[in-house]
Chains A and B, each alone.
Chain A
Amino acid sequence: MQNPIITGAMFKHMLQSAAQAMKAQETKVNELNVFPVPDGDTGSNMARTMSACALAVSSVDGDDDIGQVIQTAATALLRGARGNSGVILSIWMRGMSLVLKDQKKADGIAIAEALISGMEAAYKAVMKPVEGTILTVAKDAASAAVSQAKQSNDAEEVLGAAVMQAKATLSRTPDMLPVLKKAGWLILVGKGWLLSFLLCLLFWKAQKRSWKRWGNPLGLWGRLMSRKRRAFTLIVQN
């Protein structure tokens, strides 16, 4: 039991670390952006949104007041929200701030209640919630936090349980949302192409044949891909 309670200073550092992590993963998240519009800006939007939040909370003086930090964060996220994902982050944080705004410190139960409130706010903000998106991940994470809080009122353990459940739910989202599964196929096929090219290169080197017999690795890969092109087309169309 290392951190049974989260203080304002700790929460401030958590938000700043999250902003740095978002910035570091910006390009990777942009590449994963396929829903609702595959415009490849989710990573950038979330990074900019969280940066605005981190900048705002850095000037907050209430080291022991988590309520003040989270209210500042919610206001900053509202103003600095960018794109669909930024709006969702702002709604979620606002929901959490409704629970924590009058508190000085947050224990496990308070964190779990805040996650539930954030999730409910996010679901209320859309007429038809789509499962398989961040809403599903937030819902399952909040449920796991509540279950953990009933066993132990340790804020770190509650957050840990929420994160673990979020990872598990994230891995199941392609089964909930067809467009993710299709994108997953494309990513796998892309990886498959790369792997097949590397195998061709290794095969060519291993056989130590002359260029006249097998052709260069690029030609060998091209002949292999021409046979697989029809299979790829069928996968993409479906």
Chain B
Amino acid sequence: MIILENPNGIIDVSNEYFSILIGNAVSSCYGVAGMAPGNAVQGIAAFFGRKKIDHGVLVASNGHQLAIELHIIVMYGVNINEIVKSIIKKVRYTIEEATGLAVESVNVFVDGMKSE
């Protein structure tokens, strides 16, 4: 979770919030045909057909900074380098706009490809 301090108290933002926020942002990025499971829990959930919006998104925080992992499936015939740059830019912008936080790192894993 991320803890934001202000004179009136603290604001505790859970990692789940960031996961869903990022999941929504990535799902509208061009070239991303789908999301792959990021860990065993997500893999088992996907096996049983329970994919949430934050599928493929892993968020870690040390209380003040975020480290994000994205596991994406790309479309055949797209420039992966440019897609990944756009995704990272959008994720950073989405989090900064929503919470004002700077993201420490965004790591993108291309785990699969979808043909037409």
* Interface residues of A, Cβ cutoff 8 Å to B: 36-37, 39, 78-79, 81-84, 86-88, 90-91, 94, 121-122, 124-130
Contact = CB atoms under 8 A, between A and B. Distances in A.
Q: From DSSP, what is the main secondary structure of chain B's interface residues? A: mixed
A213 B74 CA distance: 68
Contacts of A88: 30
A127 B114 CA distance: 12
B28 A87 contact: no
Q: From DSSP, what is the main secondary structure of chain A's interface residues? A: helix
B89 A39 contact: yes
B90 A37 contact: yes
B77 interface: yes
B77 A78 contact: yes
A213 B69 CA distance: 65
Q: How large is the interface on B (under 10, 10 to 19, 20 to 34, 35 or more residues)?
A: 20 to 34
A54 B86 CA distance: 24
Contact of B27 (A82, A86, A90, A128): A128
Interface stretch (B2-10, B13-21, B31-39, B59-67): B31-39
Of A36, A78, A79, most buried by chain B (CB within 10 Å of CB) is A36
Contacts of A91: 30-31, 75, 77-78
B29 interface: yes
Of B30, B77, B83, B85, most buried by chain A (CB within 10 Å of CB) is B30
A128 B34 CA distance: 10
A37 B30 contact: no
Contacts of A129: 28
Contact of B34 (A79, A83, A127, A130): A127
Given A86-B79, A91-B78, 8 more contacts: A36-B93, A37-B93, A39-B93, A87-B30, A87-B86, A88-B30, A125-B30, A126-B28
Contacts of B86: 83-84, 87
Contact of B31 (A36, A82, A125, A128): A125
A94 B30 CA distance: 14
Nearest to A45: B82
B114 to A, nearest CB: 9
A79 B79 contact: yes
B79 A90 contact: yes
25 contacts: A36-B29, A36-B90, A78-B78, A81-B78, A81-B82, A82-B82, A86-B79, A87-B30, A87-B79, A87-B86, A90-B77, A90-B78, A90-B79, A91-B77, A94-B77, A121-B116, A124-B75, A124-B116, A125-B31, A125-B33, A126-B28, A126-B30, A126-B32, A127-B34, A130-B28
